[in-house]
Amino acid sequence: MASSGPCVALINGEHCPLAEARVSVLDRGFLFADSVYEVIPVYDGRLFQLQAHLRRLQSSLDGIRLNNPHTDETWSELLNALVRANGSGDLALYLQVTRGAPAKREHRFPQDCRPTVVAFCQPRRNPSDAELEAGVSAIVREDDRWNRCDIKSTSLLPNVLASDEALTAGANEALLCRGDEVVEGASSNLFAVFGDTVVTPPLDHRVLPGITRDWVIGLAAQHAQPVTQRPVSRTELRQASELWLSSSTRELFPVTRLDDEPVGSGRAGTVWHQYRGWIQAALQSAS
């Protein structure tokens, strides 16, 4: 069958053209950001780390007291069928579950309202070696998000504003600080290298438990080089020899400029290269 490209959406169990996919204006996802989401990378038609994403989805749903509309088995069937309908290949699959569209707009939870389930795919491009080597730039700013950043909720306005601030400053990511601590990026987790030690901020209510973060920590442990999970201060951030961002769509990306100053050598560092090798080997063996 010819590849149709990523243009098919899933709305409450039904496929439809993405351009025609609609939800009600009364949907609580639209009105209150009363919803949670996941972004799952697809490598050559295979959903990567699906079980880990479904576990985090469950934890986000628990966090907003919304029942999971599907079992893991049904999720797997629905999402794999969506990937096939989108021609497989390298994709980023977006899925969102909202508290549904009741007849009336009011804050309190609706009774007997079916959650809305939406999913669609976008193309995902693997960065070139040259792009990785050059790395990206980041700015540092205050974190003005709520206190449940461990829930992957669609209340993303502070993240969107922080990303826009980064773009306006000619950077790619905003690193967010609470007081003196740097907690994560607007759409990524943070790793910092000090000498031979790789550090990442610990998980708590201020940090999304990134699937890639966890995967990278696991790979490092397999190679007997455990990552240290401890707070990173603003001052330390500027002393790191390497900084990296992790996310499902970007894997592990070097930050080579911070607030217009070079990080370390200003190129991808030696420790990152070592991790990159482990990541490529793991992706190869998973395919």
Ligand X SMILES: Cc1ncc(COP(=O)(O)O)c(C=O)c1O
**Residues labelled catalytic:** 152
Report how many residues bind ligand X under the rule CB under 6 A: 14
Does the footprint of ligand X cover residue 201 (CB under 6 A)? no
Q: Which helix (H) or strand (E) holds 58?
A: helix 50-63
Site for ligand X (CB under 6 A): which residue of 35, 248, 269, 279?
248
Name which of 96 and 212 has its Cβ closer to ligand X. Answer: 212
Site for ligand X (CB under 6 A): which residue of 187, 193, 253, 264?
187
Q: Virtual CA dihedral for 130, 136, 213, 185, nearest 10 degrees?
A: -170
Site for ligand X (CB under 6 A): which residue of 210, 254, 264, 269?
210
Name which of 45 and 158 has its Cβ closer to ligand X. Answer: 158
- List of residues 6+ apart from 130 with CB closer than 8 A: none
Q: Is 277 helix (H, G, I), strand (E, B) or coil?
A: helix
The DSSP call for residue 20 is: G
Q: How far is the CB of 247 from ligand X (least distance, A)?
A: 4
Q: Which helix (H) or strand (E) holds 221?
A: helix 211-222
Residues 69-128 that bind ligand X (CB under 6 A): none
Sheet holding 46-47, edge to edge: 14-17, 8-11, 116-123, 91-98, 35-43, 46-47
Q: How far is the CB of 63 from ligand X (least distance, A)?
A: 14
- List of residues 6+ apart from 270 with CB closer than 8 A: none
Name which of 27 and 48 has its Cβ closer to ligand X. Answer: 48
Does the footprint of ligand X cover residue 200 (CB under 6 A)? no
Residues 17-76 that bind ligand X (CB under 6 A): 39
d(CA 136, CA 244): 9
Site for ligand X (CB under 6 A): which residue of 86, 98, 189, 200?
189
Query: Given the rule CB under 6 A, which residues bind ligand X?
Result: 39, 159, 184, 187-189, 208, 210-213, 246-248
